[in-house]
Structure 1
Amino acid sequence: MGDRNNSKLKLVHSSKTQKDDLKGSSRILLSLTTSLENTDEEVAQDLANKLSEEKEDLIQRIVKAVGKAKAIDIYNEVKRIEKDGGMLVMNQSRRRTPGGVYLFLIKHDSNLSAEQHSLIFEDEKQRYKDNMKKKRKKKIDKMKQQIAASKKNLPELLTKAELCVQKLVTDNDRSLKKSDHVDVTNPPPTPETDCHENSGDGIDQPNELNIPSNSRRNLDYNDDFLDLGSVNDMDLF
């Protein structure tokens, strides 16, 4: 009863069950129809057919690098693994194909030299690099197209230098417009320019005084004298 309530045991049992489900049922592979008596090409073709492997050229390189006997022995190991339920990929998410199991055993065979691995997988590595370059180039081209399309819809952004020049021109235009509305005043009058013609001090030069002659009255002083009559008539004292 205590083991049934142990959550750790339940998780382990569940994980093992899921792993068994992913591996799937037993898969029986057909035996090879070729042997050491056949050519490398014939053995490679037979292996590719039994493994349902599309890369027949890769299988041919394996046979040439490791020999027919080693290639056939590894196939027999694949038959055993598939009969036991197959092999999962590294992240345990799916079951490997028979061809995938065969290539996995070749890659992790410690009895094979580095030179043999290079002969087998060098072309695959180069092909992988070429495919990555193509994908990268395709991604870059797509980004360039998106940028070009966005430039058509959005105004072109000005550089920092262009923004500075635009600001200077705008400020200059504003100052010119402002100066058009300023009233121009003449400088204050000075002794050298006072009342001079065209001096701009606002004081007109005085004209000569022309006093009309008839504006003056002819003064008659006769009335200013007192009429005393005849002096002889005065009483003398």
Structure 2
Amino acid sequence: MDPKQNPWPSPPSASGASTDAELVASARAGAASAFEIIMRRNNRLLFRTARGVVPDDAEAQDVVQETYLRAFTSLDSFRREAALSTWLARIAINVALTAQRKRRGLVQMGARAEDDDSAEASPENVMAFRTPDAESPDAMAERSQVRELLQSAVDNLPPIYRCVFILRAVEDMSVEETAYCLGVSDDVVKTRFLRARKMLRETLAEQAKPYLRNTFSFAGARCDAVVNHVFAALRARGLVRSQ
């Protein structure tokens, strides 16, 4: 062997890889770029998926990291029966559920067991609406209020419904993909999604009450314009005296 030749050549780059199969093949060959592409493409999905189960950002981040470690050390088990993102989401759910079981075990040892899963607090950062650059401050404030209402409503869903809602409504997964991730039947996904939406409608209707008084407001310049227009018409018809 030529002494100048590197006996440990660098793994192939994944910069040109586009399909799941190509990325996985590059990752199996040890290409750092493949691992990075996979992570950057799936970070938000896995974070949101984890947040549907675990109670805070820090733990969700731990779940995402553990998910990648498990996935990257067992890439040979990826059979392309589902998209790579879906396969990763399924692993994330399993990791998150394991973390929750451990949490429950610790809670029980502390004599503070909760029997009702709906008592678990699991806030999510799931409604990441993009605000147009030219949006007015008032519109931005209203959008922020709506986002907070939605996040609060999703937060209050029991975990079994919250997971389905995030995967179906937020991540736009199909029924089949969601069922694969959660390890349940298509019918279970459909039922839980319908119930989640029903609960959200009821919750949002209750939470929105304080804001209803300010909806369809008709004040300021628009109010003045109507008043001035009608007064002008009345004066023209001699129905009101000019002051």
Please, what TM-score do these two structures have when normalized by structure 1? 0.31
Q: In proportion to residue count, which structure has more helix?
A: 2
Greater radius of gyration (CA): 1
